[in-house]
Amino acid sequence: MKEIILAYQGEMSLKGLNRATFESVLLKTMRRRLKSLGSFKIYKAQSTMYAEPVGDEDIDEAEDRISKIFGIATISRAAVCPKDFDVICDTAKEYLRDALMQAKTFKVSARRSDKTFPLNSMEIGRELGHILLEAYPHLKVDVHDPDVNVTVEIRDFAAYVHGGKKPGAGGLPVSTSGKAMLMLSGGIDSPVAAYMMAKRGLSLACAHFASPPYTSERARMKVLTLARKLTPYTGNLNVYIVPYTAAQEYIRDNAPDVLFTVLMRRSMMRITKMLCEKENADAIITGESLAQVASQTLKAIACTDAAQDLPVLRPCIGMDKCEITDIARKIDTFETSILPYEDCCTIFTPPHPKTKPSLEEIEEAEAGMPGLAELEAKAAQEAQVEYINL
Ligand code: ATP
Ligand code: MG
């Protein structure tokens, strides 16, 4: 039996004039993400995207990949059949056998966008309902909360039969909201921040600060693994590995201990902004969460924000660790994130960092570091790009 995946759009259908652009981005994204699986015909009709295997391509894997594409609200995997009522009934009986055998209740939902089909939606529902009750006498009809929602869609090219829609990834197609640079550490939070902002339609590049020999090659590899795990959601990622040792040692040696963390975070922000210029990115994303650590108090965040003028997006700001961890597990970054390698943010940290630094004292400390700007420019210049492709 020929199967197909139908992907229905969500929020973007609200967006009026942008809709055509969004749909074309979505089609391109689907083509790119399924490319390595072989030959799929990907097209749209009536606000629905179709992914149709040409031969015996792996449709389970295709369904999994499509379920991670932002901009798709719901998905169904359907059997395709000719627009002939008897064939549709046989297809429903056969294709949904396992689901119907396990179910106690069902209903039939029919949608007829091809109005030349001789039965209307109500008639299809009623007739097919009878036939299924005869074929599966243990079943009862429940129109409110059925175990299986037997769905028939009579569309332009064919009829489609499936067991109901499943939720897709939601959000907006990646790149339709512009581009931002994610500050990617090896921790739990920043990959989750990437997922959340990609969901709002941003395409991403990443900046990772490494301070060898204080941070290891394994820590660097871990970050690249995280980036790879994000690509099913974000698409291709350019990851800039910033050699940060010299600037970081300079701050350690020339500034008051208690201000070290905030000074370092400002310095990282300035470098990230330089990378944004290279990548044409218009915002910075971090995984910060309010009050999680000393550098994430309101005062410290205010000082960090004042370091440069791009907007800083912090999607995890109001979430607690459990909520962040739930998402990290869902997107399969958690197990990698908890590998115990050091991060540059956790080396040289003073035992009692100041939790309420003032911008005045921060700027005064920076005035005492005349060599820092040059080291920052050099770090941005010498950042190596790793191309993480789908
Ligand atoms: P995470 O779990 O993402 O590491 P965290 O709670 O450990 O976050 P911090 O270490 O204070 O918090 O870092 C806050 C944010 O700063 C991170 O979410 C990330 O966006 C950024 N960041 C931290 N370390 C690095 C790094 N080495 N390179 C790039 N960005 C970093
Ligand atoms: Mg961290």
Q: Which residue puts its alpha carbon closest to atom 8 of ligand 1?
A: 189
High-pLDDT (> 90) share of the chain, %: 88
> Would you say residue 251 has pLDDT above 60?
yes
Nearest-angstrom CA–CA distance, 7 and 49: 5
Tokens for 103?
């179910």
Q: Which amino acid is at 255?
A: A
Name the closest ligand to CA 190: 1
Q: Please list all protein residues whose beta carbon sits less than 5 angstroms from ligand 2, which is an ion.
A: 185, 187, 343
pLDDT tens, position by position, 189-209: 999 999 999 999 999 999 999
Rounded to two decimals, what is the model's pTM?
A: 0.94
Per-residue confidence band for 18, with pLDDT thresholds at 50, 70 and 90: confident
> Would you say residue 12 has pLDDT above 80?
no
242 lines ligand 1 (CB under 6 A): no
* Mean per-residue pLDDT, 159-180: 96
Ligand 1 pocket mutation, candidates 325, 345, 384, criterion most atoms within 8 A of CB: 345
191 lines ligand 1 (CB under 6 A): no
Q: Which residue has the higher pLDDT, 11 or 65?
A: 65
Beta strand pairing status for 48-53 and 3-9?
Answer: antiparallel
pLDDT of residue 15: 60
Q: Which amino acid is at 52?
A: E
Nearest-angstrom CA–CA distance, 65 and 72: 12
> Would you say residue 105 has pLDDT above 70?
yes
Nearest-angstrom CA–CA distance, 383 and 138: 65
Nearest-angstrom CA–CA distance, 312 and 181: 10
pLDDT tens, position by position, 309-362: 999 999 999 999 999 999 999 999 999 999 988 888 888 888 888 889 999 999
Beta strand pairing status for 105-112 and 140-141?
Answer: parallel
Q: Which residue has the higher pLDDT, 342 or 261?
A: 261
Per-residue confidence band for 9, with pLDDT thresholds at 50, 70 and 90: confident
325 lines ligand 1 (CB under 6 A): no
> Would you say residue 17 has pLDDT above 90?
no
* Mean per-residue pLDDT, 212-219: 94
Helices within the chain (DSSP H only): 19-34, 59-66, 85-95, 97-102, 121-135, 189-199, 217-234, 245-254, 260-279, 298-305, 321-330, 334-337, 359-367, 372-381
pLDDT of residue 294: 72
Report how far ligand 2's centroid is from the alpha carbon of 366 (Å).
24
Flag the least confident range among 111-115, 136-140, 289-293.
289-293
Per-residue confidence band for 222, with pLDDT thresholds at 50, 70 and 90: very high
> Would you say residue 279 has pLDDT above 90?
yes
3-state helix, strand, coil in the chain (%, to 5): 45, 20, 35
CA–CA distance from 171 to each of 34, 45, 175, 202, 232 (Å)? Answer: 20, 20, 12, 10, 14
pLDDT of residue 16: 62
> Would you say residue 293 has pLDDT above 80?
no
pLDDT of residue 295: 74
- Cis peptide leading into residue 353 (ω within 30°): no
Flag the least confident range among 106-110, 237-241, 345-349.
345-349
> Would you say residue 299 has pLDDT above 80?
yes
CA–CA distance from 140 to each of 100, 148, 208, 213, 247 (Å)? Answer: 11, 11, 57, 68, 70
Nearest-angstrom CA–CA distance, 64 and 210: 34
* Mean per-residue pLDDT, 33-57: 95
Report how far ligand 1's centroid is from the alpha carbon of 360 (Å).
24
* Mean per-residue pLDDT, 283-310: 92
Q: Give the closest residue to 178 by CA, choosing from 159, 165, 164, 197.
A: 197
> Would you say residue 20 has pLDDT above 90?
no
What's the chain's average pLDDT?
95
Name the closest ligand to CA 183: 1
